């Protein structure tokens, strides 16, 4: 069996991320952190029951990563102290709430509607696991890409496929050079790069000043056709994000009267009031079974009982700083991990809670699960400004109705990243593959979190090549949020692939060729 554990390689087709706001709005995947919120979820314990109750109860909910077996019994105090402390009275919430899931494949017609709203011309064509509209031979024309399955993750760029000409939003003051290494010029003044409708000044400093940006009200009006095509007219809008002259509108859909978290659309509006970029989900989640839920207080108790896992990635938040020690870095948009609040630190203050639906993984697919969305203020964060608080989402489903599994899923935690957890410890579901070097270099593509490392292995037979990618945390013990991107890993085969099937060990299914 061949195994390789090399440096993780992001998909070369993915646009390099330059600013914190671009990360929030243009990641080629479902971002589970948006609107300046840090997002994570801890795992449930079997301490309050191990299965559904009497006949007529909803089927056990198989939350991936919720395998039972917390280190501290539910309701017992954590010897390290509470991570979160409510400073205001928390609401009781409803008695039950439904789970929503996307069903079926994304239709060609729905992609056509979205393309029309974004003014992307051309026919919808099938390319592997995605629908694609637009895109010229020089890779500079408007392009829309939509995943055919799952949440229908989509990305739109008016200036070509991400990964072509690097046309990141300007991020340096006038006259500052050498920020982009070899290659010449800043990311925004290279041949083929637009001014981002910022009045022609491609060197505008990305200082969130908003100079030249449209008003929040005008930006909200500009995105209405896109929201209508997405079936999200009732989405809650936040137009406070800024990157130079580009205003970012974050739209969080409302399902069954409940706010959602992690299912947002992020749309960029230029200074001329036109949509100049965006990403989101095209699938319309369907209402499923209803589950009894816990109050905000009881859910917070479970969060503090020590049964949850620590997420393993660090998100960027609009308006904040990026990189190590809070300074902007080359990668842009990856914030440092917050220290574990239980290690000699004061607990974070919970200043409020709203009942809603958060993105989790159920049986390997994305779902919107009844959850409490806590407003949290970290110690020393102060009391003013949008960056003083963050949102922590935790499923509220009564643990009696969770399906508990054997084993411990160390790398796939609910509500963290858009890769598809397989239900097997550490294994990542594979999206596609390609080959090189005469068929001996097998490269697999998958979604993963930025704070994990991945290794690939292949077991060859006469007819198949069984392939597995396993992830592990880079910095175990640190509390951070996983933000997702597409990765590739390459393994060298003993013999050329030569018509053999590539099989994903985590699912047992054939992997499509890219």
* Sequence-ordered strand ranges (E) for 199-333: 236-243, 246-252, 254-255, 258-261, 265-269, 275-281, 286-292
Q: Which of 266-280, 417-431, 460-474 has the highest mean pLDDT?
A: 266-280
pLDDT at position 259 is 97
Of the candidate ranges 72-76, 130-134, 296-300, the one whose mean pLDDT is the lowest: 72-76
Beta bridge partners of 504: 467
Provide the 3-class DSSP secondary structure of residue 387.
helix
- 73 pLDDT exceeds 50? no
The candidate with the shortest Cα–Cα distance to 356, out of 391, 316, 381, is: 391
Confidence of residue 311 (pLDDT cuts 50, 70, 90): very low
Contact 451, 314 (CB under 8 A): yes
Torsion of CA 502, 505, 511, 514, to 10 degrees: -90
pLDDT digits (tens, 9 = 90+) for 437-459: 889 999 998 877 777 888 999 99
What Rg, from alpha-carbon coordinates, does the chain have? 22
- 252 pLDDT exceeds 90? yes
pLDDT digits (tens, 9 = 90+) for 130-162: 999 998 665 568 999 999 999 999 999 987 654
Distance CA 336, CA 424 (A): 29
pLDDT at position 446 is 85
pLDDT digits (tens, 9 = 90+) for 26-49: 333 333 333 333 333 333 333 333
Contact 382, 409 (CB under 8 A): no
Q: How far is CA 20 from CA 279, 381, 500, in A?
A: 15, 19, 42
Beta bridge partners of 485: 448
- Give the pairing type, strands 501-504 and 464-473: parallel
Distance CA 367, CA 283 (A): 11
- 105 pLDDT exceeds 50? yes
What are 36's two structure tokens? 């300046």
Confidence of residue 473 (pLDDT cuts 50, 70, 90): confident
Distance CA 217, CA 239 (A): 8
pLDDT at position 451 is 74
What are 112's two structure tokens? 């056509």
Higher pLDDT: 307 or 147? It is 147
pLDDT at position 378 is 82
- 402 pLDDT exceeds 70? yes
Higher pLDDT: 269 or 451? It is 269
513 Cβ partners below 8 Å, 6+ apart? 128, 432, 433, 434, 502
Average pLDDT over the chain reads 71
Q: Is 1 exposed, middle or buried (0-12, 13-18, 19+ CB in 10 A)?
A: exposed
What are 9's two structure tokens? 């390689």
- Domain annotation for the chain: domains and CATH numbers: 72-102+286-305+347-380+388-404 (2.40.128.690), 108-162+208-284 (no CATH), 430-510 (no CATH)
| In the chain, % of residues over pLDDT 70 | 59
Contact 296, 91 (CB under 8 A): yes
pLDDT digits (tens, 9 = 90+) for 190-225: 334 444 444 333 333 444 566 789 999 999 999 999
Distance CA 161, CA 192 (A): 13
Give the pLDDT mean for 424-443.
Answer: 81
What are 321's two structure tokens? 């700083």
Q: Which of 133-142, 372-381, 382-391, 495-504 has the highest mean pLDDT?
A: 495-504
The candidate with the shortest Cα–Cα distance to 23, out of 481, 489, 389, is: 481
pLDDT at position 120 is 94
Count other C-beta atoms under 10 Å from residue 111's C-beta: 25
Distance CA 253, CA 293 (A): 21
What are 174's two structure tokens? 């006038």
pLDDT at position 398 is 93
Give the pLDDT mean for 88-103.
Answer: 95
Provide the 3-class DSSP secondary structure of residue 341.
coil
Phi, psi of 302 (to 5 degrees): -65, -35
Distance from the Cα of residue 9 to its chain's centroid: 18
- 317 pLDDT exceeds 80? no
Distance CA 187, CA 395 (A): 41
pLDDT at position 1 is 67
- 313 pLDDT exceeds 70? no
pTM over 0.85: no
DSSP letters for 121-159: -S--EEETTEEEEE--TTS-S-EEEEESSTT-EEEEETT
Strand order in the sheet with 125-127: 125-127, 130-134, 143-147, 153-157, 275-281, 265-269, 246-252, 236-243
Contact 419, 446 (CB under 8 A): yes
- 163 pLDDT exceeds 60? no
Q: Identify the DSSP state of 399.
A: G
């Amino acid at each position: 069996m061949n195994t390789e554990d090399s440096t993780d390689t992001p998909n070369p087709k993915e646009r390099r991320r330059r600013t914190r706001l671009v990360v929030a709005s243009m990641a080629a995947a479902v971002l589970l952190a948006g609107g300046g919120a840090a997002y994570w979820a801890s795992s449930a314990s079997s301490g309050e029951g191990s299965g559904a109750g009497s006949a007529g109860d909803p089927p056990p909910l198989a939350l991936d990563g919720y395998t039972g077996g917390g280190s501290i019994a539910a309701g017992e105090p954590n010897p390290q102290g509470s991570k979160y402390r409510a400073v205001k009275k928390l609401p009781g919430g409803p008695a039950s709430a439904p789970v929503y899931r996307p069903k079926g494949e994304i239709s060609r017609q729905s992609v056509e509607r979205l393309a029309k709203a974004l003014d992307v011309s051309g026919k919808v064509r099938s390319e592997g696991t995605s629908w694609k509209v637009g895109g010229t031979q020089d890779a500079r024309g408007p392009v829309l890409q939509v995943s055919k399955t799952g949440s229908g993750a989509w990305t739109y760029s008016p200036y070509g496929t991400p990964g072509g000409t690097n046309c990141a939003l300007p991020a340096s003051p006038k006259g500052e050079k050498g920020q982009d290494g070899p290659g010449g010029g800043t990311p925004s003044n290279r041949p083929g790069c637009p001014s981002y409708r910022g009045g022609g000044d491609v060197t505008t400093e990305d200082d969130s000043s908003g100079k030249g940006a449209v008003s929040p009200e005008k930006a909200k009006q500009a995105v209405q056709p896109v929201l209508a095509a997405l079936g999200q007219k009732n989405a809650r809008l936040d137009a406070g994000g800024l990157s130079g002259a580009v205003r970012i509108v974050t739209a969080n859909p409302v399902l069954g009267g409940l706010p959602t978290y992690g299912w947002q659309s992020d749309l960029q509006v230029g200074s001329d009031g036109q949509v100049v970029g965006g990403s989101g989900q095209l699938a319309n989640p369907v209402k499923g079974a209803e589950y009894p839920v816990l109050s905000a207080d009881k859910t917070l108790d479970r969060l503090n009982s020590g049964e949850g896992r620590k997420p393993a990635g660090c998100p960027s938040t609009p308006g904040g700083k990026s990189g190590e020690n809070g300074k902007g870095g080359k990668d842009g948009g990856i914030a440092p991990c917050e220290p574990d609040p239980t290690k000699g630190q004061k607990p974070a203050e919970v200043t409020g809670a709203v009942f809603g639906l958060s993105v989790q993984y159920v049986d390997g697919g994305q779902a919107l699960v009844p959850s409490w969305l806590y407003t949290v203020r970290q110690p020393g964060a102060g009391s003013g400004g949008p960056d003083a608080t963050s949102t922590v989402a935790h499923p509220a489903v009564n643990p009696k109705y969770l399906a508990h599994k054997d084993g411990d899923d160390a790398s796939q935690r609910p509500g963290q990243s858009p890769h598809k957890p397989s239900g097997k410890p550490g294994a990542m579901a594979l999206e596609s593959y390609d080959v090189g070097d005469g068929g001996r270099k097998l490269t697999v593509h998958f979604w993963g979190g930025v704070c994990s490392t991945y290794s690939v292995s292949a077991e060859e037979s006469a007819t198949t090549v069984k392939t597995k990618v396993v992830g592990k945390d880079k910095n175990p013990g640190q509390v951070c949020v996983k933000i997702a991107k597409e990765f590739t890993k390459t393994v060298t085969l003993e013999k050329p692939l030569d018509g053999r099937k590539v099989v994903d060990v985590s699912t047992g299914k054939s992997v499509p060729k890219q």
